[in-house]
Amino acid sequence: MFGYYLDLALRSLRRNKVLSALMMLAIALGIGASITMLTVLHNLSGNPLPQRSGVLFHPQVDPRPANLPGASKEPPDGLTYLDAVNLYQLGIAPRRAVMSANWLPTRLDAPDSPLAMRTDRATTADFFAMFDVPFVYGSAWSAQDDANHAQVVVLSKALNQKLFGGADSVGKTLVIATKTFRVVGVIGDWNPQPHFYDVDDVNDGGAFADAEQMYLPFFTWLNLPQDYGYGPMRCWGNDPNAGGHDPKAKQCTWAQFWVELDTAAQVDSYRSALKQYSEQQHQLGRFQRAPNVRLRGLLDWLDYKHVVPVTVRMQTWIAFGVLLICMINTVGLMVAKFLRKSGEIGVRRALGASGRAVFLQCLVEAGVVGVAGGLLGLPLAWIGLWMVRQQPVSFAASAHLDLSMLGAALLLALLATLGAGVWPAWRASRVAPALQVKSL
């Protein structure tokens, strides 16, 4: 029966080519616009590290003074130096990494090599295993290197390409901020978006920043001879050192800290350890507030930080407005189209077709329009995303159509037209055969 309905639908669409084309074009435009914006939203609010997001957690403690005007209830995002070191040494989590970012003057270890500023992430050994960072050459540094303040560096693939032409550079040396560093590893393509581990990344782009060009051991980095900033510092109070860029200042938070917790029991015990730590610091007089800790999972953390730009959300709503208008448009055109076939429907009904059969036949026709509109909408979405990528905003580069969005586009188009077709089809199925046949 479906084949017959399909045949009828195609005949009917061929009969009035202009009207059919208009309907398909309207659906295509609506689908194109909404899929473009949905893809941008999907990419921006996606899971940056699907295989690891369940076990990564972001601990926060509250070292702020008791009465701070205008302070939010939420503890600060980052940690002070002291808390970062203390939590790093807590040793309950199977893996943990403390980190921050800045940029450092870097050159090859050769006399005439030019100096350039390179973005870097200072972190600890577990970073690479925790975040599933693939290595092309060499490997991560060890916890021992962290403890010894070893001068070692891991390069990104792009920087290795730039400095060493993509060759295996393990064992080569670089001069970073006047100190000599040995390359221990080169990582492969790795750039989870959103940039969850540091959503306020100091190197342009915030939550959609690119991954840094190189990785240094955190404690080595902290002892570099000069201050190139320590990531965005948030300080409170009128302490004069606040302006002095002292990373160890007790009233400034800036370090990011992540832990891996593999089981629910580990999460619970880590949470109580955080509370216990806060309690202990409170008793020591360092923390003025009662324990105020958070242990958010990766996805909760992204949610809490509202990483999706407001403009993207607004544009997505507008795109759905466009789709709604396109659907109303389609309903109108379909009502017109089906009513115009009243005569034909009357004949079919008079010859014994049930109302249900007519209804299904009309729905099949709506579905054909939907699929055609969806197929036509895909190249439009592709053009739309191409235009988004041309925009010089930080998140634009991630706007690509993937297979799941492709399927979603077709499904959306089909559902939208079927939705738009239900009512016109129902009306068509209610055509009184006698009246129509009489007027023929």
Partner 1 sequence: MQILPIFAALRRHKLVMWLLILEIALTCAIVCNSMFLIAQNLQRMHMPSGIAEHELVQIQMAYIGTRPDSGARTQADLAALRQIPGVTQVALVDKLPFGSGNNSNIKLKPDQPQPSMNAGLYFGENLLPTFGVKLIAGRSFAPEEFVTLDQALQGINDNSPNDLPHVAIVTQAMAQRLWPVQNALGKTFYIGKDIPLRVVGVLARLTRPNTLQAGPAFSFVVPISENLSDGGGSYVVRSKPQDRARVLRDAVAKLKAIDPNRVVLAHRTYDEARAAFFQADQSMAGTLVGVCVVLLVVTALGIGGLASFWVAQRRKQIGIRRAIGATRGDILRYFQTENFLIVSFGIAIGMLLAFVLNAVLMKFYELPHLPLYYLPIGALALWGLGQLAVLGPALRAAAVPPVVATRSV
Question: Are the CB atoms for 389 and 399 separated by under 8 Å?
Answer: yes
Nearer to partner 1, 29 or 410 (CB): 29
- The least CB distance from residue 434 to partner 1, in Å, is 18
Question: Are the CB atoms for 121 and 215 separated by under 8 Å?
Answer: yes
Residues 6 or more apart whose Cβ sits within 8 Å of residue 432? 346
Nearer to partner 1, 252 or 261 (CB): 252
SS (H, E, C) 332-359: HHHHHHHHHCHHHHHHHHHCCCCHHHHH
Nearer to partner 1, 32 or 194 (CB): 32
- Dist. CA 427–CA 344, nearest whole Å: 14
- The least CB distance from residue 164 to partner 1, in Å, is 21
- Dist. CA 420–CA 279, nearest whole Å: 60
Q: Which of 297, 340, 131 minimizes the C-alpha distance to 215?
A: 131
Question: Are the CB atoms for 322 and 33 separated by under 8 Å?
Answer: yes
* 215: enclosing H helix or E strand: strand 214-217
- The least CB distance from residue 201 to partner 1, in Å, is 14
Nearer to partner 1, 154 or 326 (CB): 326
Nearer to partner 1, 46 or 105 (CB): 105
Nearer to partner 1, 18 or 403 (CB): 18
- Dist. CA 66–CA 48, nearest whole Å: 36
- The least CB distance from residue 188 to partner 1, in Å, is 28
Question: Are the CB atoms for 82 and 97 separated by under 8 Å?
Answer: no
* 88: enclosing H helix or E strand: helix 81-90
DSSP secondary structure, 99-149, as one string: EEEEEEEEEESSTTPPPEEEEEEEE-THHHHHTT--EEEE-PPPHHHHHTT
Nearer to partner 1, 103 or 257 (CB): 103
Nearer to partner 1, 186 or 388 (CB): 388
Nearer to partner 1, 39 or 329 (CB): 329
- The least CB distance from residue 349 to partner 1, in Å, is 20
Question: Are the CB atoms for 373 and 27 separated by under 8 Å?
Answer: yes
- Left (φ > 0), alpha (ψ -120 to 50) or beta: where does 316 sit? alpha
Q: Which of 318, 263, 259 minimizes the C-alpha distance to 294?
A: 259
Which residues sit at the interface with partner 1, rule CB under 8 A?
A: 18-19, 22-23, 25-26, 29-30, 32-33, 69, 105, 115-117, 225-229, 238, 240-241, 243-244, 310-311, 314-315, 318-319, 321-322, 324-326, 328-329, 331-333, 335-337, 340, 384, 387-388, 391-393, 396, 427
- The least CB distance from residue 35 to partner 1, in Å, is 12
- The least CB distance from residue 21 to partner 1, in Å, is 9
- The least CB distance from residue 141 to partner 1, in Å, is 26
- The least CB distance from residue 152 to partner 1, in Å, is 23
